[in-house]
Amino acid sequence: MKGEGAGGSGPKFNMYFKTEDLAVGYSGKALIENINIGVEKGKILCLLGPNGSGKSTILKSITRHLNKIAGTVFIDQEDMSHFSSVETAKKLSVVLTDKVAPELMTCGEVVATGRYPYTNHFGKLTEQDNRIVAESMEAVKVLDLMEQEFIRLSDGQKQRVLLARAICQRPEIIVLDEPTSYLDIRHKIELLGILRNMAVEQNVTVILSLHEVDLAAKLADQIILVKDNHVYGYGCPEDILDDEVIKDLYGIEHGSFNMLLGSVELPKTGDMEPQVFVFGGDGYGTLCYRALNKRGISFATGVLYHNDVDYQVAKSLASQTIVEKSFRPVSEFVYEQARKALQKCEVVIDSGFDLEGENNRNRMLLEMARHANKPILSLRKETKHETGSVEYFNDIGALINSDRLKFGSANGHKRKQRRSLAASI
Amino acid sequence: MKKSNLGKIARYQLVCIFLLIGLVAAVVFSINSGTVHMSVKDIFDIIVLRANEGSVESNVIWKIRLPRLLAAAILGGGLSVAGYLLQTFFRNPIAGPYVLGISSGSKMFVGFTMIVLMHYVKTIPAGIIVLAAFVGALVSMAFVMAAARKVTDMSMLLVVGVMIGYICSAITDFFINFAQENEIANLTNWSLGSFSGIGWSDIRVMSIVIFSSLFAVMMLSKPIGAYQLGEGYAKSMGINIKLFRLLLVLFSSLLAATVTAFAGPIAFVGIAVPQIAKMLMNTSKPIIIIPTTFLTGAVFCTFSDLLARTMFAPTELTISTVTAFFGAPFVIWLLLKKKK
């Protein structure tokens, strides 16, 4: 367990929003207990966890859509259960996952419902209310949709209008339950950007749940990890999130998530001795690794420096990665490792790494391969000397379809055998 | 924005004027049609100047046509608002007191009460009938709400409502089988739905119930508006959801029950009219739509009653025959539109 998790010491006293021994669940039965989390004013708190882990249950209990089972929720040192529903509405607004389909309501009218706690008995909007509605819509860039009918909008626009509605309520805290579901990448970025700005500029506290680990790490000040109905970790994302925690949190057995790059690699497909040796480096290798992985071709790669982007991907996908520590010449030992790996492989891929340098071991290895007459598939753009075993390709699409990379039925057969074995186990 | 607001207000006013003209036209036509023919001047004299008091013409106008006309307008409006509340409650544009079996529940309780009480008293007070209808409406409503928890699909809810309606009708028919003959004549006539035979004392009772309910519903227009975004959002704005839902159930049942108590079950008005009102106004703002729905319902029912009386005179059609003729195709169209 990382950070201040379940049962650990609670969050600091000066937290603007915090929970003390909160227990949440349905119909009187606690699902998650001992939730001690908090966030300062104007900061972003994000709940991460797999589907069905209880993120929504926690959020709904905070927003009072569910009755909490035990414990206390504080806003600005005050017990939330002392607030009336209208007082709560003035302090806390929400963006829910509920599908909203109001007939014949314009976006302006939807946003204006956010003024509900402030307007008179008939909900008459004053000049000031109208101004706040317009400001809120401007803040999420939907002012031009004012007169449009809400149900005709795209999902991205709808979500923004609903966020404008939440902003319009002029809350201290906004709670959003998976606001980025159904949004394409551009709208995700824009929406989270707006939340960031709100937190920084208007000092609004944001509590949200997200599915995207990479975005959460970049957005949130505090992160709660929820798994199997318990709080699995709590703290700064920079401190508590790493590849292993993510794998464990989501129960990823195959494939991997790279926290540093924020990228996903699908499960490694080649499960045999490497047949291809890829010369990577400077990020040239990554695309080759992924292309090979899609075809189920096992490969070794090297010599990579530890700080190379290619290394981050290679460690997920390659059968063997030959790596040297950063900022030093390749040692004899590593060189020897690479030479052996290269010899065992049937085909070599030259991704077009940097050939410069007196003692460039990779260049030496590549020359060695050429002398050994290994088939070399090269993506190199410059210095094309047509020697027997080198084949040049303009792009990876062509390279990956090369006959050299078709390792015949023996390959498929072996894999089939292995699969049936696996199935019988 | 200012300009479009003015446009909207102009539209609201225009539609209102249009509906009022419609209502006046319906009133004029209705008063002027029937087996006893009178000139417009005679009618004017009778109503405004109270001329010829005691004459056949005066009696026809004052004792038959006027109360019937007023009843059609008031009950039509009340029924439409009941439909509007049910559509809000179930968040379902094809909900209404008739299709959800609520009118039939009222009918069953009123029928039962009438048969039992007729043995003891000659005429049953209107208040008692309204009360029986209200209880019946709440019983049906309870069943529909229980079903609504299980089924999320709005067409399924309709099927459940229609079934409840059939059960109630079956039970009502069962009572009628055991009733005495003079009772049957009364009951069957009423249970088919008609605005005939309504007197001024009835008008007073229905006015009190329906107009006070209408006023209360208008007072609820702010939470109704917020409720259109769904229960979750409504709650987050500070609405007491439990109380609000209870009020919706009570007022929709009370309105539907009052209509059924006086005129029997009337088909499709509750579904169609609120939708027509929204289309006319091109908005769903409750503060606009509630009065528009009432007015549209009043116009719709007075015209329907006019047709029911005059189309095959002297034979009178039941009011549902006419309202269903116009309402049912409209509902089919609504269903098809939703599927798109």
Mean pLDDT of B13-23: 92
Q: Give B43-56 pLDDT, tens digit per residue.
A: 778 887 777 777 77
Q: What is the pLDDT of residue A1?
A: 43
Q: Do domains A2-253 and A266-411 have the same CATH topology?
A: yes
Mean pLDDT of B68-80: 94
| B8 vs A: CB within 8 A | no
Class of domain A2-253: alpha beta
CA-nearest residue to A120 within chain B is B222
Which of B1, B4, B228 is opposite residue A105, by nearest beta carbon?
A: B228
Which of B4, B232, B278 is opposite residue A98, by nearest beta carbon?
A: B232
| B338 vs A: CB within 8 A | no
Distance CA A405, CA A410 (A): 13
Distance CA B321, CA B328 (A): 10
Helix residue spans in chain B (DSSP H): 2-31, 40-48, 56-59, 66-90, 102-117, 126-150, 154-178, 181-192, 200-219, 221-227, 231-236, 241-263, 269-281, 286-310, 319-339
Q: Is the pLDDT of residue B139 over 70?
A: yes
Q: Is the pLDDT of residue B210 over 50?
A: yes
Mean pLDDT of A258-278: 83
Kindly indicate the confidence band of residue A254, based on its pLDDT and cuts at 50, 70 and 90: confident
At residue A261's C-alpha, the angle toward residues A258 and A264, to 5°, is 45
Say which CATH superfamily domain A266-411 falls into: TPP-binding domain (3.40.50.1220)
Contacting residues of A for B287, CB less than 8 Å apart: 122-123
Contacting residues of B for A113, CB less than 8 Å apart: 225-226, 229, 233, 237
Count H helices and E strands in chain A, helices first. Answer: 15, 20
User: Cβ contact (<8 Å) for B4 and A88?
Assistant: no
| CATH no. of B73-339 | 1.10.3470.10
Residues 47-106 of B with CB under 8 A from A: 93
ipTM here: 0.84
User: Cβ contact (<8 Å) for B238 and A86?
Assistant: yes
Q: Is the pLDDT of residue A415 over 80?
A: no
What is chain B's length? 340
Mean pLDDT of A317-334: 90
Nearest to A36 by CA among A16, A8, A56, A15: A8
Q: Is the pLDDT of residue A419 over 60?
A: no
Q: What is the pLDDT of residue A370?
A: 87
Mean pLDDT of A307-335: 89
Letter for the amino acid at B1? Answer: M
Mean pLDDT of A205-223: 92
Q: Is the pLDDT of residue B178 over 80?
A: no
* pLDDT averaged over every residue in chain B: 87
User: Cβ contact (<8 Å) for A121 and B226?
Assistant: no
Residues 6+ apart with CB under 8 A from B90: B148, B154, B157
Worst-scoring range by mean pLDDT, A206-215, B194-203, B228-237? B194-203
**A60's tokens:** 């709904």
Q: What is the pLDDT of residue B340?
A: 53
Q: Where are the domains of chain A?
A: 2-253, 266-411
Distance CA B271, CA B276 (A): 9
Q: Where are the domains of chain B?
A: 73-339
Mean pLDDT of B234-260: 93
Q: Give A280-299 pLDDT, tens digit per residue.
A: 888 889 999 999 988 888 99
Contact B305, B319 (CB under 8 A): yes
Kindly indicate the confidence band of residue B1, based on its pLDDT and cuts at 50, 70 and 90: very low
Contact B281, B94 (CB under 8 A): no
User: Cβ contact (<8 Å) for B237 and A116?
Assistant: yes
The whole-angstrom distance between A17's CA and the closest CA on chain B is: 18
Q: Is the pLDDT of residue A206 over 90?
A: yes
The whole-angstrom distance between A110's CA and the closest CA on chain B is: 8
Q: What is the pLDDT of residue B181?
A: 66
Q: Give B266-320 pLDDT, tens digit per residue.
A: 988 999 999 999 999 989 999 999 999 999 999 999 999 999 888 887 788 888 8
Q: Give A115-124 pLDDT, tens digit per residue.
A: 999 998 888 8
What letter does residue A295 receive in the DSSP assignment?
Answer: H
Question: What Rg, from alpha-carbon coordinates, does chain A have?
Answer: 28
Give one DSSP letter per residue of A318-338, joined into a string. Answer: -SEEEEE-SSSPPPHHHHHHH
Mean pLDDT of A109-114: 94
At residue A241's C-alpha, the angle toward residues A236 and A243, to 5°, is 170
Q: What is the pLDDT of residue B331?
A: 83
